[in-house]
Structure 1
Amino acid sequence: MSTGSDSFTEKTDDALCFLASHPALYHPDIVRAAQQELRRRGLTLPEIAQGATPASLLEYAPEPERSNSARGLLLSGALVAVVLLGAWALQSTDADAADPTLSTERPISLPASVVEQPATNDDMMPNFESLAQERVREAATTVPAAEWRDSIARNNYQQMVARYWTAEYQTAWLLTRTSQRPTPDPTLLGKINLIQEQWGRLTHAAEYDLKLRPVMQQRLEAMLLGHKRRNAVLGLLTYGFNGGDSLITREIQQGDTAAYAVRYQVLATRLPKQLPLLPLRSSPDVVRSQTVPTRYPNTNPLYLLHNRPLASDPLSDGLPAPVAELSSTEIDSVLVLRPRVATQAYGPRAHDGAVLIFTHAPHP
């Protein structure tokens, strides 16, 4: 299975820690690649989540017993593999530590309208495994006893319930946290990717014949409706982060409420009289910083050094050469203009925003 090493170098620390600490949710190659990337950045590997065991989709018949000789060969092969993997891991770690060209700094790609902000503990997305398991236990009370006695249908349904509530709680948390933050979260896109992967585990499994009974199938269809609502909201949130006028728009607010209502279909309970509403929050049109934000892929903001426009290559994600050559000690201040204000000031060429850079000494 190809893990795409380049994609892992683009992931945030939070995303890598989540992948490395949840082997039950991902392929072993993905977990191993995330752990290797964390080592490359000089970070401590996270602890494996308690009770994490590989999750299977359907029940399978046990494998036939092997003979003693076959079992002995398998055991010998496993011991050799463990020794080889241990030697490879030590060699890889020593090589990374010895190579001075490897950077331990976190690569962060931000849109031109967002200034890098340090992550805090409040930005760490919970896994919500305990809450999801509570919902799994409650599922027994919402399904007829005759259906619940079907062991294959019950086990598969429980796994779908756990996947739905994990993704649902994560999405709701992200929207609530986004509405509460005073500044945009630079790790937002990484969190959205992780949540979409969690939703994907639900939708991909739903494509198989899970042998669900009628009421279970009805509740699964409600879960898939919840995914549809949440996916639309996450798409709007991504658009807002990449250069829209606000992060929590009225469309996101309404989509969140609609997705929240689906919860009650899954729980088979009546809707409350009033559903929660996310507070609307607009991002500032002008942000002051001491550093130049990294260009986000597929964007081409206008850069101005002491009001002198600088062209950049739209096919690359690099900064214009005069800007890239500036040291942090030379920069006095940076103003980041969101697209709406930037186009008013500089016309269509600033459709992706503008970055105004001022140095301590006049720049030629």
Structure 2
Amino acid sequence: MFTNSDSFTEKTDDALRFLASHPALYHPDIVRTAQQELRRRGLTLPEIAQGATPALLLEYAPEPERSNSARGLLLSGALVAALLLGAWALQSTDADAADPTLSTERPTSLPASVVEQPATTDDMMPGFEAQAQERVREAAATVPAAEWRDSIARNNYQQMVARYWTAEYQTAWLLTRTGQRSTPDPTLVGKINLIQEQWGRLTHAAEYNLKLQPVMQQRLDAMLLGYKRRNAVLGLLTYSFNGRDSLITRDIQQGDTAAYAVRYQVLAASLPRQLPLLPLRAYPDVVRTQTVPRRSPNTHPLYLLHNRAFVGDPLSDKLPAPVAELSDADIDSVLVLQPRVATQAYGPQASDGAVLIFTHPPRP
């Protein structure tokens, strides 16, 4: 878990007091940093909210020393996040070689913010059991066969994979839905609590000796890193909701990108050149979904898959053949650009909008 102390210096006294007095809602690092900033300003620490653990608020013991491998994993995750955010600021060039094993690369730069939006407008949070089980079935491909033959390790590892992907998909869905809504969801905090319970199923089980083989343990370490990234984002989202602020803030956007990058560590896949950012509220013209939308009558959007452009049949509402052949399991994320933004990014050929399709890494 990391916190940007500079961002805390910009927060108001009331905002810092709220963070410091609600440890049940936030990661300990966030609470601790808020308290340190209050002390730096010479302010008295607030009383502990009902149900909070006093030791969490009042003790500032240094973090336990991490092993070299754990420290290296954390540093690598932070570096990957920094590289991803920097990549979004760069202009794509025609010299970039297309790599079909990576997610879609854009031929020109997209707007700096992209909103994630689910395929449904229903506010009931899906369980994502089917998607998680699909990841469980694929898990064998990322583990050496000799390790996979250990039945105890294999069964324990499969359970951890299912728990990670269930919580990961639910968190991404919640951010998606939050960015889509025009008004705050009154049940948001309840959904966050449910998701945190789901993450707890992963972290609590990880405290036991699961007798995992070395590569399985590496993948589990990546899952736990993903939990830390998501837990920080959920804490920021709770604070934003309680403060009636713009729900999708830049800190949440960056945290989502860092957590999204961890997926590729869990999948043991190469990181794509760029990841779809979770947009701020000010940019509603681009949405992120997990399915390719149906074509509207008399519209001809531009489709981009593996850095190749396709257009649909102008005489029908059918999708281009390479797009139509994709299964839901192949698709990681879809960016839908409305005409105004699409034209800015891709020119007149995208006058009816553009659809960028990011696929999962191919199965070994």
TM-score, length-scaled by structure 1? 0.44
State which structure, 1 or 2, has the greater radius of gyration over its C-alpha atoms: 1
Instruction: Identify which of structures 1 and 2 has the higher relative contact order when contacts are C-alpha pairs closer than 8 Å and 6+ apart.
Output: 2
